[in-house]
Structure 1
Amino acid sequence: MPHWSLVRIPAPLPVCRFARTQPGPSVCGGYYGSSPRPGLGPRPTHLPRSARSAAFAHIVMLKDKNALSFEDKWPQMRPTLLKLLRQMSVSRSEWQDLFWLVHSVCLWDEKGAPKVYAALREDILDFIKQAQERVLSHQEDQALLKAYIAEWRKFFTQCSYLPKPFGQLETALQGKTTTSLQKGKPTEDNSVVRKLMLDSWNQSIFSNIKERLQSSAMKLVHNERNGEAFDSQLVIGVRESYVNLSSNAEDKLQIYRENFERAYIDATEQFYNLKAPEHLLEHGVQDYMRYADAKLREEEQRAQKYLESSSGSVQNLVKSCVDVLVTSNKETILAECAGMIKTNETDKLQLLFKLMDRVPDSGILPMLHDLEDHIYQTGIADMIESADVITQDCEKYVERLLELFRRFSLLVHDAFHDDPRFMTSRDMAFKRVVNDTSVFRLELPGRGRMYSRVVPESKCPELLANYCDILLRKNPVSKKLTSDEIEAKLREVLLVLKYVQNKDVFMRYAKGHLTRRLILETSADSEMEENMVEWLREVGMPADFINKLSRMFQDVKVSEDLNSQFKDYLSMNLEKHNLSDIISIKILNQGAWAKSNERQPVSLPRELEDFIPEVEEFYKSKHSGRKLQWHHHMSNGTITFANNIGKFDLEVTTFQMAVLFCWENRRHDRLTLDNLKLATELPDSEIRRTLWGLVSMAKLKRQILMYEPQVSKPNDFTDNTQFWINHEFAMIKNGKVQKRGKVSLIGRLQLCTDKAKEEENEGIMQLRIFRTQEAIIKILKMRKRINNAQLQTELVDILKNMFLPSKKMIKEQIEWLIENKYMKRDDDNINTFIYMA
């Protein structure tokens, strides 16, 4: 018999763990120190005061190996162990004795731990075999599932409590088994006893009946898909056993994933591989889309109920369903897309988009192509249909473009919820429409070795600039609109401008129109003019272009001050005092306003010819070292025409004034084209254009000049064509002849001659070449070496706000830069370029 003695020691260090063990089950089945468990009775009462006081005393055991052997103590441990396995009531003393006995045997018996482990394993296996017999006694599927779930839940509950008394066994076996125990105190996850229980259950019962369990559970799910009701907890219970059964601490869901999840997904695929083709064949594509969408949502909800949500099983199941319901029939479904887009069936397109968006990578791509083709084909067809109108009326052209853009944007919004991929396709298609040359085109000719043959470009930027001019200058259109409405329309123009490739052409025409408005003082709103320049800056127009426009406004303000000073100068001269109220000069910076230095020859009326030296003398007194260059083709004035009907003020260009003054002293003579050339000294093309404006002004019912023989265009004039003053000229309003009035014959103020216009076109091409060369050198300076593909990509990115360089232009400029030793090709790779400093 062991000898026991109680001694009081000052330090609270236990010699054995008996006095510090975890509390165990009470007589009524509860757990000491824990909350009451349902069906297991109330929590036991606290220890008496005498027992609490004994905590300061520690039991000292005198070792007797023979009395603490496995063979001696196992018969005392086994009854409590069996009670725990069977979930029978265990008294507090039995629970605590089990802690003590396990601790004693494992600590003092050298072979005690392996023997306890083997005996424990034998009893657990025996218990599991009994549970298996109870489960297999049920043949009907639902009864089998219910029995298995009940047995498993009781067993799994004990997996949490049975290992607790065997803590010393865990420590003793640590390092002696192949288990993945952590160093230190064993946890529930790496418990040897827990692993033993789970592995035993897996090997003894689960491995034998898991096929029946899975089959029965899948049959119930199959019945649910067919509309039959059942207790869903049966499938959930089976799922829980798969989830909790794995003893692999690194992958706790291994058994669940390899068995239940795989069986569930396979059963789902088999179900829809049979049902889906039948439904598609019987009901057609559009009804099948609704069916597929409903089943995908239904299966996703079912998966959230029956599968483990934290394992990614739901996503795997949905992906599998998408493969069966959508991907396998993708071509058949997508064949309907083009027709739906054409007929604007947004509801069906929404459904199609929802289905195809689930298909990875290639699902949406055909839809994007269908949308882009539809927008382009529809836009071009609309443009061709209304070509006669839009080519003559820039306002109708822009409004048609904007109407198309709004229609396509609404389609993308309603059918595809403004998905960025579809918005990109819309933009690409609309860009093709805007830059198409099938309706009208713009030719930019070039001469010389550096100019490649230019591909025709769209006339859209010119028409956009013309429309902006209509909105910004004084005319019936702008007068009908409020300031907010004009701003809104200008913003819409900038929206279209975003899709224009050759923005440099827009810059050229926009600057020309602004020049006319500022010189003729026809701007409807000066503040709106300056705002427009800033908006162009915001949409990415080149800074040098914007800066030139800003300088034009500054020049006009400076010129107004000079003009005021000049009038004061004339007022001080008594002989020319009367000219101060009728003369207005504009002295502007040629670098910001004019492209050409060409001076157009013209014989001015004597009054104007005498006036020029006065201006030059005044300007020299203000600024020394500067030279004035007169641009008569940009000048204009007002003359009074008097006849028997009345007096009329005519606003004319300088060239028109020179032509009309030819009749000043011979009002009734007829002059030939040859005579007028000699009198005005104007070039042939200019005299023809000027005369045509005086004989065929569209807004006048009676022209200021008459001529014969009649022709259809100014180039048909011959040197012998006769012109004379129409003494019956008058303004007619509402069918009545007016005796007084003012009319403008200027029309579109000519900013440059034909030769200058050709030079300006060449200037655009030359500027493109210089910009391309500059951008290439800029990239090479930064990269030092770069391959051809990357160079072209970065080059287009730099130049896209001005124009889109063609591959041929890029190639030619690269060759030119190589010839002139700005760069060279790599000796080992001809597609790699190296910067030469």
Structure 2
Amino acid sequence: MATVGSKPSGVGGGSSMLKQDKTQPQFEDRWEGMRPTVLKLLRQENVSRNEWHDLFWEVYSVCVWDDKGVDKVNEALKHDIVEFVQQAKQRVLHDQDESALLKAYIREWGKYFTQCDYLPKPFKPLETATGKGSGAQQKKANQQNEDSTVRKLMLESWSHYIFSKIKQKLQESAMGLVLAERNGEAFEKQLVIGVRESYVNLCLNSEDRLQIYKENFEKAYLDATEAFYKAQAPNYLAENGVQNYMRYADSKLKEEEMRASRYLDTSKGSNSMSLLTECCVECLVSVFKEEILRECAPMIKNNETDKLNLMLKLMDRVPEGINPMLRDLEQHIIEAGLADMVAAAEIITTDSEKYVERLLELFHRFSNLVKEAFNDDPRFLTSRDKAYRHVVNDTKVFRLELPTKNKSAVSKGQPESRCPELLANYCDMLLRKTPLSKRLTSEEIESKLRNVLLVLKYVQNKDVFMRYHKAHLTRRLILDTSADSEKEENMVEWLREVGMPADYVNKLARMFQDIKVSEDLNQSFKELHRNNYGNVADNMNIKILNAGAWSRSSERVPCSLPVELEDFIPEVEEFYRNKHNGRKLQWHHLMSNGIITMKNEVGMFDLEVTTFQMAVLYAWNQRPLDKISLENLRLATELPDHELRRTLWSLVAFAKLKRQMVLMQPEAKSPKEFVDGTVFWVNQDFAVIKNGKPQKRGKINLIGRLQLSTERSTEEDKEGIVQLRILRTQEAIVKIMKMRKKLNNAQLQTELVEILKNMFLPQKKMIKEQIEWLIEHKYMKRDEGDINTFIYLA
């Protein structure tokens, strides 16, 4: 029976060939022709293209036409493979020297493994002939096991006859070479790589192709690494100290990672690199963690940034290794910051500019430390912020006593830092016409204001800053002393951007609107009364302001005004009633000022004075040479005793004047020493002194810092801060409970602090008191089953 078939093309390529046999091909007839080619392939000898193609055809023919051909081919092939492996074994084991053994093994294995790719190709028909089931099932089976029968046979034979016999020696030799490299000796790196590859490639487990490698080579490599550094590291540390050891450990970690990338398997699914890194970190760093970390605090103190950077690299590899460093940094910032502030206390307690600049210098110093030593790691930035917040809000140098209300009286509460007050003072110096603002450019002023906002971010009680900032802004707007109106309005928007409470910022914005509206009203009033009062009307500047945005105190100080001013008050009130029916004006003389002209024997001088100073000086308007007692001045001005004393003191002891405006007898060192019999008179020799010479003309500002509050209202201000905090706390608690309906005490306090933190940090005592107040007034109640759980009452 004749057959016609096409001969499959092999690796060598070439054209297809047709062959027709008149007899059925049998294994016995064909194997003798196939075997020489098989042996040539095993021995890596040259195979011609015709021999290669003939082998494909002969195998195919036998598998198709001989019923038992597949089994016979398998048996014959197995015999030749085993025989070849046995011969290779003899060549490998010929020399017992470890190095020679390793080289012989790598050489034989390399050639053999290469043929594992070529020899199976002609025998593919064996796979088809033994396959069962549908084509789809067979395809799936082939995908699950990529190794052909012949390849599997070749690898199993090598593993059984050679590898299993000498793998321990191979492993030990390879580890010996790695040890030699660690000790600085040179060798052929390919030897270790070849051993590793044989461990990887000999595994036929389809579930885990790295099983043999992991259980043997990887384990031996990790054990050898651990043993080496357990012996080396302690000695190096003892001989060279911690700082040198850190450099040693860092270099060894990098070195081992590079070495592992050569000698360990890095294919997908292998975790050898991570295991090696863990092993090295444990041996080189974790074991000596305490000794290394003991050096952290001194390094931070001495600003040894390079060494700290190295310590960070090492400790970041160790679980929880960074935490002690974070604590050391935090402690250093607190201690160094407070020590610096205490050392400079005499200067900064009297100069808000120096205080803010010192705070900023500390912030930039600590920020540079975090940047250079810790690469601006977010964890270290958080520690910096936490510690700096402690410095800013500390009360050792600056203390603000706020009262706390209880049922019996008003007593002093927990002291707070004066930082927000001093920040507000510094802003005032930048925004007001002062020597500081005059010598700075617009860009420099903006930069410094931004710096204030940077510090303000760390202030706990921002409500105090806002209260003082508003007072300074009020003073600047009333006295028209703002250096740059655009900067003033920008500052309000910047406060909004940094998260200041919206209602505070909105009130500041309304103040600017009021000033603009007031200017329009003032202009209308002047035009209306110019015919009646002439130049007097032009010289009047009336500010009509909204009490809700501006008022600081409920107290209005009585004062007897000069007749010239008293005449205008009914006119202004009538004008305003016609403009805004139903609204009522309240006059705040405390916040008013003006300019009066004084003539004496020396010359004529324009005096910028407060309304209270004007009232006192007008007592001498009709009797310029008289001496008037304190008691009579009190009757003439109708000022409260304390305000009168404070005003007189500003006239008899004004710091900037070499010749005082008013003289007194007897002498006093403070306004408290005035008695009813103390007499005062206008200094007829008063003059402005320039270059040591009295001037005949001049303008003098006696206002200084316009007093916006009386002694009583200053206390009211502080109580107002506390009262507003109480209301804010109540409001926030109700808001939370209305949303949550039911909440335990711990959760309530957490959410409350989160809501209020941009204004102030509520004390636990205040929170407890306001919860009790709200329970008492039926806004909420305690859960009957748990007294620490609260329920909202609609």
Counterpart residue number, 1:564:
523
Q: Is the 8 A contact 1:570 1:579 kept in 2?
A: no
Q: Which amino acid counterpart does residue 461 of structure 2 have in structure 1?
A: N
Distance in 2 between residues matched to 1:60 and 1:200, nearest whole Å: 35
Counterpart residue number, 2:12:
32
Distance in 1 between residues matched to 2:550 and 2:763, nearest whole Å: 29
Residue in structure 2 matching 1:779, options 736, 746, 751: 736
Deviation per CA, 1:376-400: give whole Å up to 9, x if none: 1111111111111111110110111
Distance in 1 between residues matched to 2:748 and 2:328, nearest whole Å: 32
Deviation per CA, 1:563-617: give whole Å up to 9, x if none: 11111112122xx223122211111111111133332212222222222111111
Q: Which amino acid counterpart does residue 308 of structure 2 have in structure 1?
A: L
Residue in structure 1 matching 2:329, options 371, 377, 383: 371
Counterpart residue number, 2:344:
386
Counterpart residue number, 1:142:
99
Distance in 2 between residues matched to 1:164 and 1:777, nearest whole Å: 82
Are 2:767 and 1:810 equivalent residues in the alignment?
Answer: yes
Distance in 2 between residues matched to 1:777 and 1:585, nearest whole Å: 43
From the superposition, tell whether residues 222 and 452 of structure 1 become closer, same or farther in structure 2 (CA, over 3 Å): farther
Are 2:522 and 1:522 equivalent residues in the alignment?
Answer: no
Segments of 5+ residues of structure 1 without an aligned counterpart are 7-17, 25-30, 34-45
Residue in structure 2 matching 1:534, options 493, 515, 522: 493
Counterpart residue number, 2:211:
254
Q: Is the 8 A contact 2:7 2:57 kept in 1?
A: no
From the superposition, tell whether residues 233 and 511 of structure 1 become closer, same or farther in structure 2 (CA, over 3 Å): same
Q: Is the 8 A contact 1:167 1:186 kept in 2?
A: no
From the superposition, tell whether residues 141 and 715 of structure 1 become closer, same or farther in structure 2 (CA, over 3 Å): farther
Distance in 2 between residues matched to 1:712 and 1:111, nearest whole Å: 130
Of 421-430 and 180-189, deviating more is 180-189
From the superposition, tell whether residues 503 and 737 of structure 1 become closer, same or farther in structure 2 (CA, over 3 Å): same
Segments of 5+ residues of structure 2 without an aligned counterpart are none
Residue in structure 1 matching 2:596, options 617, 622, 639: 639
Counterpart residue number, 2:307:
348
Are 2:688 and 1:731 equivalent residues in the alignment?
Answer: yes
Counterpart residue number, 1:480:
439
Q: Is the 8 A contact 1:640 1:648 kept in 2?
A: yes
Distance in 2 between residues matched to 1:187 and 1:90, nearest whole Å: 32
Counterpart residue number, 2:383:
425
Distance in 2 between residues matched to 1:446 and 1:642, nearest whole Å: 51
Distance in 1 between residues matched to 2:330 and 2:144, nearest whole Å: 62
Counterpart residue number, 1:335:
294
Q: Is the 8 A contact 1:170 1:186 kept in 2?
A: no
Q: How does 1:44-59 map to 2 (within 5 A)?
A: 46-47=14-15
Counterpart residue number, 2:6:
19
Of 399-408 and 655-664, deviating more is 655-664
From the superposition, tell whether residues 583 and 4 of structure 1 become closer, same or farther in structure 2 (CA, over 3 Å): same
The Cα shift of 1:80 comes to 4.3
SS of 2:587's partner is: coil
Residue in structure 2 matching 1:4, options 2, 5, 12: 2
Of 783-792 and 511-520, deviating more is 783-792
From the superposition, tell whether residues 134 and 773 of structure 1 become closer, same or farther in structure 2 (CA, over 3 Å): farther
Q: Is the 8 A contact 2:774 2:780 kept in 1?
A: yes
Of 259-268 and 533-542, deviating more is 259-268
Distance in 1 between residues matched to 2:749 and 2:227, nearest whole Å: 52
Q: Which amino acid counterpart does residue 4 of structure 1 have in structure 2?
A: A
Deviation per CA, 1:720-745: give whole Å up to 9, x if none: 43333233322222222222211111
Are 2:54 and 1:132 equivalent residues in the alignment?
Answer: no
Deviation per CA, 1:131-180: give whole Å up to 9, x if none: 2222122222222121111111112112222222333333454469xxx9
Counterpart residue number, 2:281:
322
Deviation per CA, 1:59-100: give whole Å up to 9, x if none: 7999x7xx75x7776666555444432333445565455545
Q: How does 1:131-530 map to 2 (within 5 A)?
A: 131-174=88-131, 183=140, 185=142, 189-310=146-267, 311-360=270-319, 362-448=320-406, 454-530=413-489
SS of 2:538's partner is: coil
Distance in 1 between residues matched to 2:314 and 2:723, nearest whole Å: 52
From the superposition, tell whether residues 230 and 691 of structure 1 become closer, same or farther in structure 2 (CA, over 3 Å): same
Q: Is the 8 A contact 1:190 1:249 kept in 2?
A: no
Q: Is the 8 A contact 2:260 2:273 kept in 1?
A: yes
Q: Which amino acid counterpart does residue 397 of structure 2 have in structure 1?
A: V
Counterpart residue number, 1:589:
546
Distance in 2 between residues matched to 1:647 and 1:84, nearest whole Å: 124
Q: Which amino acid counterpart does residue 550 of structure 1 have in structure 2?
A: A
SS of 1:457's partner is: coil
Deviation per CA, 1:32-72: give whole Å up to 9, x if none: 22xxxxxxxxxxxx33xxx66x5xxx97999x7xx75x777
Q: Is the 8 A contact 1:170 1:193 kept in 2?
A: no
Distance in 1 between residues matched to 2:527 and 2:458, nearest whole Å: 50
Of 590-599 and 367-376, deviating more is 590-599
Q: Which amino acid counterpart does residue 386 of structure 1 have in structure 2?
A: A
From the superposition, tell whether residues 686 and 192 of structure 1 become closer, same or farther in structure 2 (CA, over 3 Å): farther
Of 391-400 and 180-189, deviating more is 180-189
Q: Which amino acid counterpart does residue 6 of structure 2 have in structure 1?
A: A
Of 108-117 and 234-243, deviating more is 108-117
Deviation per CA, 1:694-744: give whole Å up to 9, x if none: 222111122222234444433343444333323332222222222221111
The Cα shift of 1:633 comes to 0.3
The Cα shift of 1:816 comes to 3.4
Q: Which amino acid counterpart does residue 700 of structure 2 have in structure 1?
A: V
From the superposition, tell whether residues 81 and 510 of structure 1 become closer, same or farther in structure 2 (CA, over 3 Å): same
Q: How does 1:546-625 map to 2 (within 5 A)?
A: 546-573=505-532, 576-625=533-582
Q: Which amino acid counterpart does residue 552 of structure 1 have in structure 2?
A: M
Q: Is the 8 A contact 1:659 1:680 kept in 2?
A: yes
SS of 1:640's partner is: strand
From the superposition, tell whether residues 86 and 598 of structure 1 become closer, same or farther in structure 2 (CA, over 3 Å): same
The Cα shift of 1:243 comes to 2.6
Q: Which amino acid counterpart does residue 178 of structure 2 have in structure 1?
A: V
Distance in 1 between residues matched to 2:88 and 2:752, nearest whole Å: 77
The Cα shift of 1:787 comes to 4.5
Q: Is the 8 A contact 2:429 2:437 kept in 1?
A: yes
Note the aligned Cα RMSD (angstroms): 2.8
The Cα shift of 1:186 comes to 5.7
Distance in 2 between residues matched to 1:143 and 1:593, nearest whole Å: 97
Distance in 2 between residues matched to 1:795 and 1:709, nearest whole Å: 58
Distance in 1 between residues matched to 2:623 and 2:286, nearest whole Å: 89
From the superposition, tell whether residues 827 and 139 of structure 1 become closer, same or farther in structure 2 (CA, over 3 Å): farther
Of 259-268 and 429-438, deviating more is 259-268
From the superposition, tell whether residues 580 and 87 of structure 1 become closer, same or farther in structure 2 (CA, over 3 Å): same
Q: Which amino acid counterpart does residue 548 of structure 1 have in structure 2?
A: K
Q: Which amino acid counterpart does residue 252 of structure 2 have in structure 1?
A: K
Q: Which amino acid counterpart does residue 167 of structure 1 have in structure 2?
A: K
Distance in 2 between residues matched to 1:823 and 1:126, nearest whole Å: 93
From the superposition, tell whether residues 476 and 91 of structure 1 become closer, same or farther in structure 2 (CA, over 3 Å): closer
From the superposition, tell whether residues 435 and 118 of structure 1 become closer, same or farther in structure 2 (CA, over 3 Å): farther
Q: Which amino acid counterpart does residue 351 of structure 2 have in structure 1?
A: D
Distance in 1 between residues matched to 2:139 and 2:202, nearest whole Å: 20
Of 283-292 and 707-716, deviating more is 707-716
Counterpart residue number, 1:15:
none
Distance in 2 between residues matched to 1:836 and 1:161, nearest whole Å: 85
Provide the aligned length of Structure 1 versus Structure 2.
788
Q: Which amino acid counterpart does residue 509 of structure 2 have in structure 1?
A: S
Q: Which amino acid counterpart does residue 12 of structure 2 have in structure 1?
A: Y
The Cα shift of 1:794 comes to 3.2
The Cα shift of 1:783 comes to 4.1
